[in-house]
Structures are given as structure tokens and as C-alpha cells.
Structure 1
Amino acid sequence: MKMTAKQSMSGVVLPRTSTAYQEEVSAQAVAAPQGYWRAALPRYGVSVLLEKRAVAVNIGLSAALLAACVLYLSLGSVTLSPNAVVASLIGQGDSMTAFMVQQLRLPRLIAACFTGAAFALAGVLMQTLARNRLATPGIIGIDNGATAFAVASIVGLGVGIAPPAMALAGATTAAVLTFGLAAGSGTQGYRFIVAGIGVGAVFGAGTQLMLARGAIDT
């Protein structure tokens, strides 16, 4: 039966001025939309909408990541069983297996996970800032700028600065140029992307020129 303005979800008729009626209306107003879950902490006044599909995808990806981590810790010059890997992680098993897992493979795995998370975060920040899903470091010229400056430090200009520092300076320069050329419309629309492609093309051409004319064998 369709609920009227005076009828609660339990079928009890409530006066419009009663506290129970007001609570019923509030509960209906904050009901989660279709396809979402609402996680609420009324005591702290916190309410969060969770998309069901996103939750399912994240659970699946987390399970896949966990399986990949166990597989990585199992493979190598010495192959270990998943049971041996798990046992070494919780402090059981023989000392040789624990050394291979905890001292040799686990640090590299942790570094790889943090590196991947950093790349993912950088991509999200780039696309959010540009408000364009096509905005990547490659498209807006950042990687070409870093490459050009790194090559210049080695074969182009004889600059006595380490290539990593020059690459950072080149990436910063490319980003500043791209934002400057797109300043008329901010980072919205395709002007930002077109400016980045142009900056990347210029730095890419400079890199090719330095590689063609520089003495890279000395």
C-alpha cells in the first residue's frame, strides 16, 4: 500500500506535529538513492553515500592485488608455495624462507605498491585539476619536458647538474608553459590539451635535435 503523508512505513498513522512523524519524514528524505548505500554515524552527524558498483569493483581489485602480492612473494630464483609465504609473514616457517620473503622480496613489493599508488594519485590529480579525462603527463608535455632537460644535462649543453634534478626542472618548466598558454580559459576545455601537445612537441623536437647532434658515445 502506498504510504500517505500521515502514514509511517510501519503502517501506523502519525500526527503531522508529532516527533515520530518528523523523524519518519527525515528518514525518508535521507534514504539512499537507487544503486547506493548510505553509511551514517548519527552520533557524529556523518553520512556518506557509497555506490554499490564502486564498492564491488574495489573489493574485487583488492582481492586481485592480494593474490598478485602472494604470487610475487612466491616466485623468484627459488619458488615458494603460498602456504610457506603466509607462514613466513606471520613469523612461522624456517629461517631461510623468512629471510627471502621478509628481507628480499617484501621490501620490493611494498615499494612497488607505493609507487603504483603514487602514479594513480598523480593521474587522478592531473585529470581533476584539468577537468578533462584526456589530461595525462604525456599529453600535456610534462614527460617530454623532463626528457629534454635530462638529455641536455648529458649530451646537449654540458650542464653539470644530475639528470634527475634536470628532469624535475624540465617537468616543472613544461607544466608552467602549458598552464601559461592555456591561461585564457584556465584548465577547462580542449585549449589546455592543445597547449600541452604543442609544448610536448617542442620539447620532443629539442630532444631529437640534441640526440642527433650530440656526442652521446663520449
Structure 2
Amino acid sequence: MSRSFRIDAVLVQAVIAGALSFAHLHDLAEAAGQTGWKAWAYPVSVDLLLVAVWRRLRTERSGLAWFWFLVALVASLGANIATAGLLDLDNVPAWLRIAVAGWPALAFLGGTLLAHEPAKHAPKRAQEPRPASVIDRPEPPAPAPAPVPDPAPEIATPEPAPALPVRVPAVPPALIEHARKLATEHRTRTGQEIDTATMRARLGVPDDLAGAIVAQLA
């Protein structure tokens, strides 16, 4: 199946403009004393510098790129204007000969700087996706706080029962008199007061009664 060929007007215009600019640069270089293949190399050098600058401006609008764009534009546009009859190509001024002769070094410097200068705004590296096991893995729940034990109930200390009054048995007065004699006799003999046990043994009475008698004699 044959494919139809369609002429693009923009492309045709670009080819014509490029050919005319190429011829003007060649004529100017030849008039400035660059003959033979050297005169044809000048248009190629200017156009290549424009291409290098255009590629840099597509990724970075730096001051260096704009500077060399203006240099290449002045070289190309100046050659087109100079060959329009403003200059006598049979008697080119010295400054133009110097500019044409120094162009190769200037173009080489510009191309080198544009090719080797690192881009300031490099495209950010796409973040690598994490493995699905890392993304979908739920985080472990935080450990629950340990339960605080309830304080032990205070045990009420039982209050002591009130002391019952000690009942002192009644001692007959006659028994008291007899016990006083025994106590005096015991003090005279031993030099000590009579105790409850001795009083109980001497009188033959119970312990509580003997204690009551000794308490009354004290």
C-alpha cells in the first residue's frame, strides 16, 4: 500500500531559511579571508552551536545557555545583515577579519561548556515503590497497660474490750489485825515486807484474799 507524501510548508520554509543563512555565512567567511573548505565550515559551526544551545534551553533556562544563544544568534544574524550590502565584501574591515578568525575558538568554548556543565534542575528520581509486604503489613498494636491492682482493704484493728473492774474481796477487820501482826513479825525476822504467797501460807486463805490483805497492809 503506497503512502502519500505531503509537503510541510514549515519544513520547506526552514530549509530555505537555513540554506540562505548558510550561504551568507559562507560568503562572509570567504570575504574575511577564509577560503576553501574553511569558508564552508563556518556556517556548520554556527548552526551546531545554535542546536546545542536549543537542546540545553529545552531542559534548563540558565544564564549560560541564554548567553551562548545570543552569541550564536548575533553571528548568524550579523552575517545575513552584513551580506545585504552594508559592507564592502571586497574590502572587509580588520575587526571583522579578527572576529571571523577567532570564531572557531569561541564556538569550541561554548560547545564544551554547554556539553559538560551539569544541569541544575535534574529530574527527580521516581520513588521506588516499597514491597507490598511492607505496605500492607499492619503495625503491631501497642501493648495494653498493665492493670493496676486495687489497694488491699484496710483491716480494722479491733478495739480492746474495756477492762472489767477487779472485785476485791471484803476482808474482815479481825483478819486484817491478825495479818498485820504476822506482817510485823515477818518484817522483824526477815527485814522484808511479807508477800502474797507467804501471807496465803500463814493464813491459809485463797490467793485473791491474800492479795487483798497484803494490798491493805501496804
RCO (CA 8 Å, sep 6+): is it higher in 1 or 2?
A: 2
Q: Give the TM-score of the pair, scaled to structure 2.
A: 0.31
TM-score, length of structure 1 as denominator length: 0.31
Structure having the higher strand fraction is 1
Greater C-alpha radius of gyration: 2
